[in-house]
Amino acid sequence: MGKKIKLLAAAGFLLMICIFVKLLLQEKFDSVEALQNYMKGYGIAAPLFLTAFQIFQVVVPVVPGYLGCAAGAVVFGSMVGFWCNYIGISVGSVIAYFLARKYGIDIILALFPRKEYEKWSKRIEKSGSYGLFLFVATLLPLFPDDFLCYFSGLMKMNARKFIWIIILGKPWCILAYSLGFGLIK
Angle of helix 159-182 relative to helix 78-103, nearest 10 degrees, comes to: 150
What pLDDT is attached to residue 1? 42
Neighbours of 17 (CB within 10 A): 18
Q: How far apart are CA 4 and CA 21, in angstroms?
A: 25
pTM for the full model? 0.80
pLDDT at 27 over 70: no
Name which residue leads in pLDDT, 75 or 40.
Answer: 75
| pLDDT, averaged across the chain | 82
In the chain, pLDDT over 70 holds for what percent of residues? Answer: 82
Task: Find the farthest-apart pair of alpha carbons in the chain and give their distance in angstroms, rounded.
Answer: 49
Q: Which of 24-28, 42-46, 124-128, 181-185 has the lowest average pLDDT?
A: 24-28
The angle formed by the CA atoms of residues 139, 144 and 146, to the nearest 5 degrees, is 95
pLDDT confidence of residue 94: 96
Among residues 155, 11, 150, 174, the alpha carbon closest in space to that of 82 is found at 174
- Is a pLDDT exceeding 60 seen at residue 2? no
Dump pLDDT digits (tens) for 110-158: 888 899 889 888 887 777 788 998 999 999 887 888 899 999 998 878 9
- How many CA atoms lie less than 13 Å away from 87 in the CB half-sphere? 13
